Structure 1
Amino acid sequence: MYQSRPQNNALAATLILVATAFIAATTLMAKSLGTDTLGAPLPALQISHGRFLFAFIGLCTAATILRPSFTSPRWRLHIARTTFGWAGVTLMFASVAFIPLADATAISFLNPVFGMMLAIPMLGEKVGRVRWSAAVLALIGAFILLRPTPSSFQPAAMLALGAAVVMGMELIFIKKLAGRENPFQILLVNNLIGLIIATCAVLPVWQIPTGPQWAVLAGIGLCMATAQTCFVNAMARADASFVAPFSYGTLIFAAVYDALFYGVRPDSITYLGAAIILAGAFWLALREAHLKKPSPAQST
């Protein structure tokens, strides 16, 4: 039986902020690989393959040192969760080669909204007017970021939107796995399955990376493994409703990285759309926290 960690909100918040810095770094590196910055652009399928390959190597190395205890994995849940996670990260890596990191990151924050919608048919959850209004608000922000006019519409933004949808599906299976297995085991199994899926998918489009591209692929995998480790340990030490707002730091880091390395600065549309999405997502997180509070009768 997996033993939960003691609650520590300060440590959880710190871990989430560290995770957001590493997650934003992976999208920055994916952008360098998807453009001609380091050589001929690599396909998104190859970038996501590198992410799973080197993350798995890093986690296996950590496992040999830490020697954590394992239980029997719930393979069906892991396979479903990882399939959607692999699809989501591949679409995300594809999108950042064409649109600003801040736009792609902001759109990705729609995944809890889609997760809420999908939980209705898949988990039998009931969604009230407040939660629906928060979801609609976030979707309005995404509509603004898509810039739906003939002169400014960016088709690649639909890739980021697709990533949010499938990552919302991943959330359904994360909920089913939550608290059932050791967080390190979940990470290791997730990356093992992801590596198998990514290897099969990349074979038709594989191309030999340059030396710098190999280094960046390794960096993506190790940064993602570090981010995942921080994230699952944060979730084990604090309520999801407390942790969620700190995850929005990814947007700040993404905008800073894009400005520093590519000279891309958010415009007024990015600020407006991102603010509306974050307002909707934050409102949804607050509502979820309220719904999870025990009633006076339950707490006595």
Structure 2
Amino acid sequence: MYQAKTQNNALAAGLIGVATAFIAATTLMAKALGRDALGPALPALQISHGRFLFAFMAISTAVMILRPALSAPHWRLHLARTSCGWAGITLMFASVAYIPLADATAISFLNPVFGMMLAIPLLGETVGRIRWFAAALALFGAFILLRPTPESFQPAALLAFGAAMVMGLELIFIKKLTGREGPFQILFFNNLMGLCIATLAVLPVWQMPSTAQWVLLAGIGICMAVAQTCFVNAMARADASFVAPFSYGTLIFAALYDQIFYGVIPDAVTLIGAGIIIAGAALLALREARQKPKPPAAHTAL
């Protein structure tokens, strides 16, 4: 029997904020690995394999130290969630090697909209007018930041769009799991199964990375482990339709990292788009802050 976490929208929003910073860092490192700056460019399948390999090592170490209680996992939900996560991250890593980081991030992070929409029929969540407006406002900011041009619709942009679709579906499976199992267990089995899938997929294209590439692969895995920990704990404390729009914060961090590491200075369009995204998330947070917290509910782990 797993006791669900007490609903806390403010804490959930803060956890998502931390997660977005680390998620943006993984795409930045994936972009470097997908090019030949540190050695022969690595294929996206190998980058996603490194992400699961080192994330699993980090989470396994935490499990051995903290020894959290584990129960019988819901294998079908774990497989569905992991398959979507592996496909989404692989598509995302493939896209950032060919199109600007901000463009790829903006396209792929349409997934909160897909997640919010799917939460209605699949989770039975109620999405009020203010939530719809806040999500639409954040989505409008994402489109501004995307700067729709003919270059944005090259085949690589479709990879990022595909990533958004499967990651939106992944949000639903994560929410279903957070009501049945603890965060550590979800992360452990997700990365264990993800490593198995990624290992089988990378075998035909694997190549020996350089020392610098190994460091970045490890960095991607560790950053993703931290982001996952924050994200799963956030999903356990708030509705998926509330948590999802805050993921747009990744766009802001992506623009910041572009400036620091690639010398790309955000222009007026970037500032306007980021400002609208922040406004949408802030509106959603203010709306939820007025709601009474929901009592925790117990669910049997299946």
Shared fold, TM over 0.5: yes
Quote how far apart the aligned CAs of 1:51 are: 0.2
Quote how far apart the aligned CAs of 1:47 are: 0.4
- Distance across 2 between alignment mates of 1:256 and 1:79: 34
Quote how far apart the aligned CAs of 1:158 are: 2.4
One-letter code aligned to 2:212 = P
- Distance across 2 between alignment mates of 1:293 and 1:237: 10
Instruction: Report sequence identity in percent.
Output: 77
Deviation by residue 1:205-246 (Cα, 9 ceiling, x = unmatched): 111111111111111101111221233334445666776665
| C-alpha distance 209-91 of structure 1, shift in aligned 2 (>3 A) | same
Aligned to 2:177: 177
CA contact (8 A) 2:105 2:250 kept: yes
Deviation by residue 1:70-95 (Cα, 9 ceiling, x = unmatched): 00000000100111111111111112
One-letter code aligned to 1:254 = A
CA contact (8 A) 1:241 1:288 kept: no
CA contact (8 A) 1:138 1:276 kept: yes
> TM-score with structure 1 length normalisation?
0.81
Aligned to 2:42: 42
Deviation by residue 1:171-220 (Cα, 9 ceiling, x = unmatched): 12122212210100000000011111111111121111111111111111
CA contact (8 A) 2:88 2:162 kept: yes
Aligned to 1:108: 108
| C-alpha distance 89-289 of structure 1, shift in aligned 2 (>3 A) | farther
Quote how far apart the aligned CAs of 1:3 are: 3.0
After TM superposition, list the pairs within 5 Å mapping 1:252-291 onto structure 2: 252-273=252-273
CA contact (8 A) 2:9 2:285 kept: no
CA contact (8 A) 1:110 1:164 kept: yes
Unaligned runs of 5+ in 1: 295-300
- Distance across 1 between alignment mates of 2:127 and 2:9: 28
> TM-score with structure 2 length normalisation?
0.80
After TM superposition, list the pairs within 5 Å mapping 1:101-250 onto structure 2: 101-119=101-119, 122-123=122-123, 144=144, 147-150=147-150, 153-236=153-236, 247-250=247-250
| C-alpha distance 204-102 of structure 1, shift in aligned 2 (>3 A) | same
- Residues paired across the two proteins, number: 294
RMSD over aligned CA atoms reads: 3.4
- Distance across 1 between alignment mates of 2:61 and 2:120: 40
| C-alpha distance 114-289 of structure 1, shift in aligned 2 (>3 A) | farther
- Distance across 2 between alignment mates of 1:9 and 1:124: 18
- Distance across 2 between alignment mates of 1:101 and 1:5: 35
Aligned to 1:298: none
- Distance across 1 between alignment mates of 2:283 and 2:256: 25
Deviation by residue 1:249-272 (Cα, 9 ceiling, x = unmatched): 432222111111111233444445
Quote how far apart the aligned CAs of 1:32 are: 0.9
One-letter code aligned to 1:40 = P
CA contact (8 A) 1:8 1:237 kept: yes
- Distance across 2 between alignment mates of 1:232 and 1:116: 16
| C-alpha distance 73-34 of structure 1, shift in aligned 2 (>3 A) | same
CA contact (8 A) 1:110 1:281 kept: no
